[in-house]
Amino acid sequence: MRLPDSVKDIIAAGAYGHVVTLNEDGSPQVSLAWVKVDRDDLLIATLSDQRKLQNLLRDPRVALSFETDELNEWGLRKYVVVHGRAVVELGGAPELLQDLAHTYLGPDVSFPAMPDPPPGFITRITVERVGGQGPWSSRA
């Protein structure tokens, strides 16, 4: 689906993604990640083969939750939940992390701060549904 511009703006401004994957027993696994908007997809970079990648190979269903700084008319914080499916690709993580570090840490930050980083993995998320509380949600 087409990712609403309001959602792209929130993520591109540096909101952290609470990335939910499913463990082998079906229980939820959560980790915090920097997220890149790539047209209508979302990208995550990881240097090592983390639990969430192993989970996504088994079950590609993923949800990403983002807080915003805005409150709705009830005083509750607006938030975005993106539901989608993930494909894990080998390589490209250091370059994407450096790109994202400009957003999340600062324009002059060098990241990862190591001499010869591994190629890592890029997780590409195709968006299927957007929820949460805000104008991007059908429940808003």
* 75: number of Cβ within 10 Å: 6
Q: Is 79 in the site for a second copy (CB under 8 A)?
A: yes
Which of 112, 118, 124, 126 touches a second copy (CB under 8 A)? 112
Stretch that binds a second copy, among 5-13, 35-43, 86-94, 108-116 (CB under 8 A): 108-116
Question: Within positions 9 to 48, which residues make up the interface with a second copy, using CB under 8 A?
Answer: 16, 18, 20-22, 26-32
Residue 73 has which token pair? 């008319």
Least separation in angstroms between CB 114 and a second copy:
10
* C-beta separation of 82 from 6 below 8 A: no
Residue 26 has which token pair? 């079906």
DSSP-assigned letters across all residues of 100-126:
HHHHHT-TT--SS-SSS----EEEEEE
Give the three-class secondary structure for 5. helix
**Chain residues that interact with a second copy, rule: CB under 8 A:** 16, 18, 20-22, 26-32, 59, 61-63, 65, 67, 74-77, 79, 81, 83, 101, 104-105, 109, 111-113, 131-133
